[in-house]
Amino acid sequence: MHEPMVSLALIIVLGVGAPWLAWRLKVPSILLLLLAGIAIGPVWAFVFPKQGPLLDPDSLLGDLLLPLVSLSVGLILYEGGLTLNLREISGVRDVIQRLVTVGALVTWVLASAAAKFLLGLPTPLAALLGAILVVTGPTVIGPLMSYIRPQGKVGPVLRWEGIVIDPIGALLAVLIYEAILVGQFQEAAGPTIRALVFTVLVGGGLGVAAAMLLAFLLRRYLIPDNLQNPVSMLLVVLVFVLSDQVQNESGLLAATVMGIVLANQRGADVKHIIEFKENLRVLLISALFVTLGARIQPEDFRQVGLEAVAFIVFLIVVVRPASVLAATFGSGLSRRERIFLACVAPRGIVAAAVASVFAISLQSAGLEEARRLVPLTFAVILGSVAFYGLAAPPIARRLGLATPNPQGLLLLGAAPWVRDLAAALSRRGFRTLLVDTNYENVRAARLAGLPAVYGNVLQEDVLEMLDLAGIGRVLALTPNHEVNALACQQLSRLFDRANVYRLGLTGDASKDKSAQGEMPGRRLFGPDIGYATLAQRLGSGWVVKVTTISEEFTFENFRTLYGPRALVLFIIRETGKLSVMTHDRPPDPQPGQSVIAVVNPDELLMS
């Protein structure tokens, strides 16, 4: 056993270091977090039996382990609820509802049967494990969808399924857990129904009440700005504990409902709370995975044999396709979309935490067989994340849901001149998506028929909600050069650095570090072009014009006609590919190609 200070330091160092390394290696962070926890726990104890594990959560935290894990899961589900804006899923709400009801039921039944017959678990524990594995992994699905950028409805469906299914799976697991504690699993229908009713009434009621109370306090400015996040934390912890005290294990539902209601009320602004909870969620997930991974005992690995491998394969090959088939029959989704939905269902932190909570409780109640829940759940997490993380991208491309060389553009900023640019690109068949923190700009873009999102792309939850299907490049076009630089740095992990562009700080390229390769993002357009230049030109009568170059009308003729100040922004190649002009790449369009340029009609008249 090592000193508590060393153990706590390991949790923090590995909890932050593993996701950073995963980002560098472009692998799901959950894999490295779990492996890190296992490495400093059971693996270290096996290699150095005299020293023991570097991290022993039971010795370090003692009786605090179970409540800390439960409370952390509640906070994670609260954050998930805060990201669930029901207005954004109107087009796929029916599919999501069926996935989290019919699909969840099919998953539970088949997974429970497989746990009983393949793993040899007793019927109560098999049903509990099946309920735990109903949940997917939104913390894995979000980054995966951002990387694949699938077309159509599947991206939003998968993201929202992952968020909504968490409390449903957790609630189902709570009901099975209550039935096991009753003692006669087969005869526990009455107590289970009563537990369900009380859990929904207590958890749901307290969650709604806490959300309305916080919204009321925010609307009346009864909480100072610097205390709004702490008060939000106070209320969710209070409602979680109070709900659990009134009805056992109903706190998870209360925290989730509080988040959902708070996100969908219209009277109070909660964006800053969502941003804070996003950062808190990352820290909690990292600490939980390292801690729970280290808690696995060396002898638990013997529980994960060939039958566990067969169980994971059964979940991937049979259970997920069956649940999607049942839930999407007659839904209007295409055959390709349904196939892709059947190929993505990784499990994540909620499954790991819920399994750990119930395993600890059931072992304390004398059910030693419950010890198998944790290693089996972790095996499913590792297997599903590894498989779906590797298989989903090529499957999406094979189905034609992901473009190998997407030509669309993500435009950061929706100022009037940016909207003019987006309109010209859209007319030529290039997909554009505008993102801005100015709602009036977003509203004007939508009225013009341009896809636009209100939000800060620097926030992880906003980035994960963007539909990036067909988007291959980023143009940071805001008037704030720091925001442009940070956005390029943030988005370089989703797009190749060669496809991330930004406007320069000034009109003078020699003073711009981005032009010298010292700042993220390639400098856009001409050597003396900045935001102010483009805004001034397009605000004073200049227009965005698309012109085809031919043998008869050469680029020299274009320059003569529109004058030397005409600014070429893009070149459309004969193959339909779009080339973005940079400060060090002078335009040289050839016959058969088209240029998108900012020109002055007055100069045309004078010529």
Q: Which tens digits make up the pLDDT trace of 259-317?
A: 888 888 877 877 667 666 666 777 888 888 888 888 877 776 666 778 889 999 999 99
Between these two residues, 395 and 360, which has the higher pLDDT value?
395
Q: Which tens digits make up the pLDDT trace of 402-458?
A: 776 688 899 999 999 999 999 999 988 888 999 999 889 999 999 999 999 888 888
**Measuring CA to CA, which residue among 434, 438, 428 is closest to residue 410?**
434
The architecture in CATH of the region 58-398 reads Up-down Bundle (1.20)
Residue 88 confidence (pLDDT):
59
Cβ atoms of residues 463 and 441 within 8 Å: no
The architecture in CATH of the region 408-606 reads 3-Layer(aba) Sandwich (3.40)
Between these two residues, 85 and 41, which has the higher pLDDT value?
41
Mean pLDDT taken over the chain: 83
Q: Is the pLDDT of residue 517 over 70?
A: no
pTM score, whole prediction: 0.70
pLDDT, mean of residues 23-52: 81
pLDDT band at 489 (very low <50, low <70, confident <90, very high): confident
Q: Is the pLDDT of residue 504 over 80?
A: no
Q: Is the pLDDT of residue 55 over 50?
A: yes
Q: Which tens digits make up the pLDDT trace of 519-554?
A: 678 888 877 788 888 888 888 888 888 889 998 898
- Which of 79-93, 101-115, 132-146 is least confident? 79-93
Residue 359 confidence (pLDDT):
84
Angstrom distance (rounded) from CA 431 to CA 454: 18
Q: Is the pLDDT of residue 59 over 80?
A: yes
Q: Which positions ≥6 away from 497 have C-beta within 8 Å?
A: 520
Cβ atoms of residues 118 and 311 within 8 Å: yes
Q: Which tens digits make up the pLDDT trace of 310-365?
A: 999 999 999 999 999 999 988 878 889 999 999 999 987 778 888 887 887 788 77
Strand 432-436 and strand 408-412: the pairing is parallel
- What is the residue extent of each domain of the chain? 58-398, 408-606
Looking at the chain, the whole-number percentage of residues with pLDDT higher than 70 is 89
Highest mean pLDDT among 38-52, 99-113, 129-143, 469-483: 99-113
Highest mean pLDDT among 77-86, 190-199, 226-235: 226-235
pLDDT band at 241 (very low <50, low <70, confident <90, very high): very high
Residue 435 confidence (pLDDT):
94
Residue 571 phi/psi, 5-degree rounding, is -125, 130
Looking at the chain, the whole-number percentage of residues with pLDDT higher than 90 is 19
308-345 residues labelled b (16+ CB within 10 A) or e (exposed): beebbebbbeebbbbbbeebbeebebeebbbbbbbbbb
pLDDT, mean of residues 168-181: 78
Residue 213 confidence (pLDDT):
93
Q: Is the pLDDT of residue 515 over 60?
A: no
